[in-house]
Amino acid sequence: MTREEYIAELKKQLRVLSESEVSDICGDFEEHFSIGLSQGKTEHEISAELGDPKTVADTYLSDNMEAASGYTATAQNNAAISGQINQGKATDGKAPVDLTGARLFVVLFNLLFMVWVAFSIYGTLIGFWAVTAGFIAAAIGMLAAIAFAPIIAAGLVVAALAMFCFALCSAVINFYLTKWTVIGTKTYIDWNKKIYNEGF
């Protein structure tokens, strides 16, 4: 759940309270999100640590039912929530996941293996585009040669057209190879981010 989604749901669950009280409560949770983001956590991780907005709202409401105005924040309640956030524990009691192994795997796997795979794939792709450029250069050269050998002009024109056709075909193939490589790279990067931030 993103920051905006979490705060919106919390406001919805606290709608029985006055606007100023809801604003105070949501302000505290906005601050928790800011602190978590500054520590390198994602919005989804922070929302998981804070717990389900409905459960949080129910806690606030049930702990203060005796208050005539609906909600008055207590020092104990705020301290309990802050303690859970600072300890990185979710309200359901689960301990935070140790990501050291997953992050070490991502770094070493990429440095020792995937960097060489990437060099090979992108090097091959660059080579294919160089072949396309070579076909185009050859076609241009043949057309330019007509000025020096007009006797075989017809043959040079046919050969130049053939080179242009080869260039066009290889460019189309290279375009799709490049597209698939970019998509594959993006997918792989997203997978790395997921493992790095959430573990296996």
Does residue 115 lie in a domain region?
Answer: yes
Across the chain, what does the average pLDDT equal? Answer: 82
pLDDT value of position 172: 96
Is the pLDDT reported for residue 70 higher than 50? no
Q: Is the pLDDT at 72 greater than 80, yes or no?
A: no
What is the model's pTM?
0.48
Tokens for 73? 């924040």
Provide the number of structural domains found in the chain. 2
3-state class (DSSP) for residue 72: coil
Regarding whether 194 and 104 lie in a shared domain, the answer is yes
Tokens of 18: 């006055």
What is the C-alpha to C-alpha distance for residues 154 and 18, in angstroms, rounded to an integer?
88
User: Which domain-ending residue is among 60, 86, 112?
Assistant: 86
In this prediction, residues 99-124 reach a mean pLDDT of 91
Task: Give the per-residue pLDDT at 95.
Answer: 58
Q: What percent of the chain has pLDDT over 90?
A: 32
Do 111 and 189 lie in one domain? The reply is yes
Is the separation of the CB atoms in 27 and 69 below 8 Å? no
Residue-range definition of the domain harbouring residue 128: 100-198
**Averaged over 3-24, what is the pLDDT?**
85
Amino acid at position 141, single letter = G
